[in-house]
Amino acid sequence: MGVSMGRTLGRRVFLAAAGMMMGAIALAGTGSDALAQPAKIKVAGVYTVPIEQQWVSRIHKALKEAEGRGEIEYVFAESVATTDYERVLRQYAEGGQQLIVAEAFAIERPARAVAKDYPKTAFLMASSFPAAGNNFSVFDNYIQEPAYLTGMIAGAMSKTGVIGMVGGYPIPEVNRLMNAFMEGAKEAKPDIKFMVSFIGSWFDPPKAKEAAFAMIDRGADILYAERFGVSDAAKERGKLAIGNVIDTQPQYPDTVVASALWHMEPTISHAITAVRDGKFVGEDYGQFSLMKFKGSSLSPLGTFEDKVPGDAKAKVKEREEQIRSGAFTVKVNNDEPKSSM
């Protein structure tokens, strides 16, 4: 009896030990797998306009793609009033967001004050001013290179020799794109004339549309659509338009000739990697919007492939290659562009 109990107990001990060993192996495997999968970075986006607005839509798209790859957990707030912006930033910082992507235009001081109060939170802010401290980086859509190329196309396509340009606000981020576009247009047609107007809003399509109508009435046959609403005016009046930041030709196949596209992915990727590796510092991310970093590009001509003159396309292609190789540099001019008629 005693021997039988001893054998049974010994067998149970052996099985228990074997079970514990197998469990330990399984647990070790699980731990290894967990270590192989980096923890997702908690990211918040804060925007003063709807995510449909072209500029913000590029940021949102890049963050959604990172979320789709399993790199981040992404939440956002859109159409946030500037008077409420600081509170929302603080709310996300208090909530443990590791990276906050937002815009500091018109709210520079409050945004930078929040960053100082939350030194462990990484802030990537659209700004006209330099980075600050160890956690306040800045970015912008430095897409003046493809803007120059679209200007060349517009200059070659204009029959009246008059281009209308409608922008939101005359700030460096807008001015440099308009100035680059104008220089490109002048390369194609040295005597080209411009009408320039700012609507005082980042998202007011009806107002932008009315400004465009006024320019068409004064002889513009091509419109630079820095804001939504301009292409609608061009479509209604049978004129052409040049897009900005996103490709709207699918919506306006007979109106939008080409667009200067902004790709936020390189900027977002750099920030996520820096946060994950514990190396995020205050720096200027503007360079990641350049063509050499694939942060911007000229859209395909699409429906206008056979409508743009062949010699113009050849010149644009040559300029594009020179920009990418560094043989040609598009001048950065942040001064407010002026009408020439």
Let me know if residue 278 belongs to a domain. no
Number of domains the chain contains: 3
Q: Which helix (H) or strand (E) holds 186?
A: helix 172-188
Task: Round to whole Å and give the CA distance between 31 and 21.
Answer: 15
* One domain for residues 96 and 176: no
CA gap 88, 105 in Å, rounded: 15
CB 160 within 8 A of CB 94: no
Note whether residue 6 is domain-resident.
yes
AA letter at 51: I
Q: Return the SS3 of 10.
A: helix
**Shared-domain flag, residues 131 and 108:** yes
Say yes or no: 11 and 81 in one domain: no
Measured distance CA(104)–CA(81) in Å, rounded: 12
User: Do 280 and 178 touch, CB atoms closer than 8 A?
Assistant: no
Tokens (6 digits) for 171:
């700030």
Residue 156 domain flag: yes
User: What b/e string do you get for 143-163 counting C-beta neighbours within 10 Å, with b at 16 or more?
Assistant: bbbbbbbbbbbbbbbbeebbb
State the distance between the two ends of the chain, measured CA to CA, in whole angstroms: 113
What single letter denotes the amino acid at residue 190? Answer: P
Per-residue burial over 199-213, b = 16 or more CB atoms within 10 Å of its CB, e = otherwise: beebbbbebbbebbb
The Cα angle at residue 91 between residues 88 and 97, in degrees rounded to 5 = 110
- pLDDT score at 6: 37
341 in any annotated domain: no
Within this chain, do residues 58 and 182 fall inside the same structural domain, yes or no? no
List per-residue pLDDT tens for the chain, 341 residues long. Answer: 333 333 333 433 333 344 444 444 343 444 444 445 678 999 999 999 999 988 999 999 999 999 999 999 999 999 999 999 999 999 999 999 999 999 998 899 999 999 999 999 999 999 989 999 999 999 988 999 999 999 999 999 999 999 999 999 998 889 999 999 999 999 999 999 999 999 999 889 999 999 999 999 999 999 999 999 999 999 999 999 999 999 999 999 999 999 999 999 999 999 999 999 999 999 999 999 999 999 999 999 999 999 999 999 999 999 999 999 999 999 999 999 999 99
Per the CB < 8 A criterion, the answer to whether 131 and 283 are in contact is yes
| 298 and 158 together in one domain | yes
For residues 243 and 310, membership in a common domain is answered with: yes
pLDDT value, residue 128: 84
Q: Of 90, 110, 139, which marks where a domain is finished?
A: 139
* Domain encompassing residue 50: 41-139
Alpha-carbon gap, residue 251 to 231, rounded angstroms: 10
* In a shared domain, residues 97 and 149: no
Q: Are residues 112 and 230 both part of a single domain?
A: no
What's the pLDDT at 141? 86
**Which of the listed residues 117, 139, 161 is the one where a domain comes to its end?**
139
Residues with Cβ within 8 Å of residue 123, at least 6 apart in sequence: 99, 100, 102, 111, 114, 115, 135, 136, 137
Assess if residue 90 is contained within a domain.
yes
How far is residue 226's CA from residue 337's CA, in Å, rounded to a whole number? Answer: 13
How many beta carbons lie within 10 A of that of residue 16, not counting itself? 10
Bin 76: left if φ > 0, else alpha if -120 < ψ < 50, else beta.
beta
Q: Answer yes or no: do 188 and 92 share one domain.
A: no
Residue 255 lies in a domain: yes
C-alpha distance from residue 92 to each of 17, 168, 275 (Å): 48, 28, 16
Position 272 in a domain: no
Domain termination site, one of 91, 113, 139: 139
Q: Residue 5 has what pLDDT?
A: 35
Cα separation of 18 and 23, whole Å?
9
Tokens of 28: 């070790």
In this structure, the answer to whether residues 135 and 201 fall within a common structural domain is: no
The pTM of this model reads: 0.84
Question: For position 114, which CATH number holds?
Answer: 3.40.50.2300
- 172 inside domain: yes
30 and 52 assigned to the same domain: no
101 and 15: one domain? no
